[in-house]
Amino acid sequence: MTIKLHGYQVEAVEAFLRAHAQGIRRPAGVLATGAGKSVIAARTVRVSPDGVAGGRRALILAHRKELVETNAKRVHDASPDLRVGIVKGARNETQANVISACTATLANPGRLAQLRDVGLVIYDEAHHAVSRTSVEILTALGCLGEPRPGGAVALGLTATMVRGDKLALGDVWQDIVYSKDMAELISEGFLVRPRGVRVRVEDLDLSKVRKSGGDWSAAGLGAAVEDSMAPKKIVEALQEHAADRQTILFAPLVHTAEVIRDALRAGGFTAEVVHGGTEERERTRILELFQAGTVQVLCNAMVFTEGTDLPMCSCVVIARPTENPGLFIQMIGRGLRLWPGKTDCVVLDLVDATGRHRLTLPVQLFGEDVLGDKPERVPGCACRPGDERTCGCPVEGCTDDCECLGSPCGCTWGAQDELDHALGLDGPAYREGALVSSVVDLFEGAERGWLRTHAGVWFLATAQRYVAVLPRRDGGYGVVSMHKARVGDSAWVPGCEQVSELAYAMAHAQGEAAGQEREQVELRARSTLTFYAKQWGLTVQPGMSIGELRKMIVTGQGSARIDRNLPGWVRR
């Protein structure tokens, strides 16, 4: 007996099987945290002609021991009649139908050689698949390199197809054949809605923290957070915004997590710390106390960013700054799963992470940051590259197309200052150290990045046109530009009629869109956006943010224009 899948999970499995049948050896699926990727993996294993049903083994790869154990448990729970084994450390259950294995263990050639008759490899957290160890494993199993008799096919599953470094995910994953982003799952009732609150920590200074591998140094971040008022502000923010909520807090270092834990305990909260070195029995004890509600705040040093299922969590505290949008989304995703009585999740941002990132679906296969804008702030300025310029920003190094929300920033005056001033939060009370916080739309700007039509076509919206990536009947992809309103005004982008890889096609489309004025939905009022959405036949869910409404409108408009003109072979 197996559990019943949601409709989108069935669609995902069908998309993966169809891709393999069409000769795509390494398709990938991007599904938000909480979408049930383990359930999808279990069903794919069961029905795949190259998997268990065909007499060959399925291998589920993960880079962390917690994920290995979780995947084995969830596959067994979803399909109890499947024999599931683990290959990790001293465990070497290689004769099972489904093997959940750790990449660090299989980095040993002797352990890898003991895996026999593997027909399907499912890579959990597929954005890690471009590491040297993972590439060697996938090559040895026949997923990478020239096809060979008896070689396996692969499937990648991740919530964030993006990396913090410049490695190209498109070198491993050939096509994203299915996606389901956070906004869709929220609007359809499969996740709760996040409610962002940015808390100002006036003495937190990241300007001297060095960067390595595309992100800030964890040691430098830890020192900056500990030396600031952040621990005190975290206590105050929880008391004001989430006094009775089960909370997961992300810190850069174990010591930082311990400092914050001590501050929380002094403030009347029950809090514990879990990190990579926590002994397994102690970790189990702490997690059981958290699940029972005895421990309210679970402080961790980047242990729970992936593969953690604690649905009772209804508040996430971000005390770990990051330049990686995927890590930002993974952290918030920990609090969005459904739970009895839970209606939303409070996201408390103490490090201005919400000023750098939004909960949009990241798609970045090409590497080198070719796909999509990466918001960067000039110190003391609220400008972000790619936004429409509405002020005479004098900050040295600021781009000509920046946005300071209607007021010259004067190098030190930005959007948050403008909001604080309007709310009267910059007066004597602020100077005396009172908690200053403001609501953040976590989906703001979602309509400006990569979107996907209802038929599954990736596209970018510019002021007058859509730039879409279409699969070609004879393989590969083509980039087409079409006018939003004029039927018949569409053409292949010159030189991009036949591109072999999705990553390169998306890079070409990005270049084409960059030469045009990018889409901005100028309608701001919620009532106007709601009316506009209903005119397009779109369902507006209670509590949707402005960002979600704007994204839904642009996606609906693009789908109406693009999908009706698709050739039959494009539809998935």
Q: Is 139's pLDDT higher than 60?
A: yes
Q: Is 363's pLDDT higher than 60?
A: no
C-alpha to C-alpha distances, 208 to 58, 205, 216, nearest whole angstrom:
47, 7, 10
With respect to residue 282, please indicate whether it lies within any of the assigned structural domains. Answer: yes
User: What pLDDT, on a 0 to 100 scale, did the predictor assign at position 432?
Assistant: 40
Distance in angstroms (rounded) separating the CA atoms of residues 386 and 111:
49
pTM of the model: 0.71
Q: Of the residues 339, 368, 397, which one is the last residue of a structural domain?
A: 368
Distance in angstroms (rounded) separating the CA atoms of residues 419 and 256:
30
With respect to residue 1, please indicate whether it lies within any of the assigned structural domains. Answer: no
- Most trustworthy range by pLDDT among 151-160, 240-249, 299-308, 454-463: 240-249
With respect to residue 441, please indicate whether it lies within any of the assigned structural domains. Answer: no
Closest CA to 484 of 570, 559, 534: 559
- Most trustworthy range by pLDDT among 181-185, 322-326, 398-402: 181-185
Same-domain check for residues 112 and 85? yes
User: What pLDDT, on a 0 to 100 scale, did the predictor assign at position 247?
Assistant: 97
With respect to residue 60, please indicate whether it lies within any of the assigned structural domains. Answer: yes
Distance in angstroms (rounded) separating the CA atoms of residues 361 and 427:
38
With respect to residue 396, please indicate whether it lies within any of the assigned structural domains. Answer: yes
Same-domain check for residues 363 and 408? no
Residue 380's domain comprises: 376-435
Same-domain check for residues 560 and 517? yes
Same-domain check for residues 505 and 553? yes
Q: Is 264's pLDDT higher than 90?
A: yes
Q: Which residue has the tokens 């949008």?
A: 325
Q: How many domains does the chain have?
A: 4
Same-domain check for residues 518 and 399? no
Same-domain check for residues 14 and 112? yes
**Residues 80/53, Cβ–Cβ less than 8 Å:** no
Round the average pLDDT of the chain to a whole number and report it: 78
With respect to residue 188, please indicate whether it lies within any of the assigned structural domains. Answer: no
CATH number at residue 31: 3.40.50.300
Average pLDDT over residues 75-90: 85
Average pLDDT over residues 558-571: 80
Beta-strand pair 465-471/458-461 = antiparallel
Distance in angstroms (rounded) separating the CA atoms of residues 381 and 387:
13
Same-domain check for residues 389 and 512? no
C-alpha to C-alpha distances, 155 to 44, 115, 127, 213, nearest whole angstrom:
9, 18, 12, 27
With respect to residue 2, please indicate whether it lies within any of the assigned structural domains. Answer: no
Same-domain check for residues 51 and 152? yes
Q: Is 167's pLDDT higher than 90?
A: no
Distance in angstroms (rounded) separating the CA atoms of residues 17 and 341:
37
C-alpha to C-alpha distances, 106 to 88, 265, 275, 423, 433, nearest whole angstrom:
8, 42, 24, 56, 53
Same-domain check for residues 140 and 275? no
Same-domain check for residues 413 and 473? no
Q: Of the residues 137, 153, 180, which one is the last residue of a structural domain?
A: 180
Q: Of the residues 139, 157, 180, which one is the last residue of a structural domain?
A: 180
481-517 pLDDT, tens per residue? 999 888 788 888 888 888 877 777 887 887 788 767 6
Same-domain check for residues 101 and 127? yes
With respect to residue 516, please indicate whether it lies within any of the assigned structural domains. Answer: yes
H helix intervals, 318-471: 325-333, 415-422, 428-431
User: What pLDDT, on a 0 to 100 scale, did the predictor assign at position 519?
Assistant: 52
Q: Reduce the DSSP state of residue 495 to 3 states and report it.
A: coil
**Residues 273/285, Cβ–Cβ less than 8 Å:** no
Of all residues in the chain, what percent carry a pLDDT higher than 90?
Answer: 21
Same-domain check for residues 101 and 220? no
Distance in angstroms (rounded) separating the CA atoms of residues 235 and 239:
6
